[in-house]
Amino acid sequence: MTLLDRLERHLSRFAIPHLIRYVVVLNALVFILLSLDPKYLSVLVLDGDAIVHGQVWRLVSWIFIPDTLSPLWIIFYLLVVWWTGDLLEATWGSFRLNAYYFLGMVFCVASALIFGASGGNVFLNLSLFLAVATLLPDLEILFLLVIPLKLKWVALISLLWPAYILFTGSFPVKMIVIMCLGNYLIFFGPSLIRRSRQNRQVWRRRAKFEGAKDDSPTIHRCEACGVTEAIDPHLDFRVASDGKEYCTKHLPDQKVKVQ
């Protein structure tokens, strides 16, 4: 039994059902508030210095700031976050979703306090989508409502921007990307490492098998392409009138005798 299993066993009754739905509703309310008066944004953002000086509401208020303030994209954004949260909760259960989300919040707040960077809500929401894409990689969606793509490919596309920041951003900005995706690394890192090791072992065994197959003694070999019955056991070979052996694919156009 893992640590998460033990925590779920004892603390599951404290989990908040439909947590992400509440976050989405408050995102919508904050969007309306900021549309009426954008100055409220400065009061809600994750600011480590302000938190240290007593503005403790910022420890939570930043998660209610939507990733976009565009009237064109806000509905799409809210629907995607709602759908992502529901899908994760249906797959994991309320407790694990709560643990994943609150762990991401802790890492984002820590990055703001330590490195003075803000904007963690973007990467916190990205961590939700990456979790869904890892759990259900072959689930197909309409990317940008037009292109049918599997979640694993959409996730790779969504990682292009964080990857660009990691290559070009300042050290504090790089750290907020890494730390705000820390919940994903903790939940999925060990399994991804194990899977990578297993894939390497499979590739090595396959290469070893192919090498052994190539080295095994053969009776037939095509004069044109070099294929043998060890490589393709279902292939037929013929001896042409020139006395040389060919596979049926490369057999010269002449009388042959069966081998």
What is the pLDDT at residue 143? 66
What is the pLDDT at residue 103? 92
> Quick check: pTM over 0.75?
no
Instruction: Give the start-to-end residue ranges of the domains of the chain.
Output: 3-190, 214-259
Q: HEC string of 135-187?
A: HCCCCEEEECCCEEEEHHHHHHHHCHHHHHHHHHCCHHHHHHHHHHCHHHHHH
* Alpha-helix residue ranges (DSSP H) falling in 12-52: 19-36, 41-44, 48-52
**SS3 category, 250:** helix
Q: What is the pLDDT along the chain (259 residues), one digit of tens a residue?
A: 577 778 878 888 888 999 999 999 999 999 999 999 888 888 888 888 888 888 888 888 889 988 888 888 899 889 989 999 999 999 998 999 999 999 999 998 888 888 876 666 788 889 999 999 999 888 887 766 677 888 888 888 888 988 988 888 888 888 888 888 888 999 888 888 887 777 777 777 676 656 555 555 677 778 888 777 777 777 778 888 777 888 887 877 654 444 4
Q: How far is Cα of residue 122 from the mean position of the Cα atoms in its chain?
A: 15
Check the CA dihedral 102-183-34-25 and report its sign. Answer: negative
What's the CATH superfamily of 3-190? Answer: Rhomboid-like (1.20.1540.10)
Half-sphere exposure of 139 (CA within 13 A, CB side): 15
Integer CA distances (angstroms), 74 to 41, 66, 81, 106, in order: 16, 8, 11, 26
What is the pLDDT at residue 34? 92
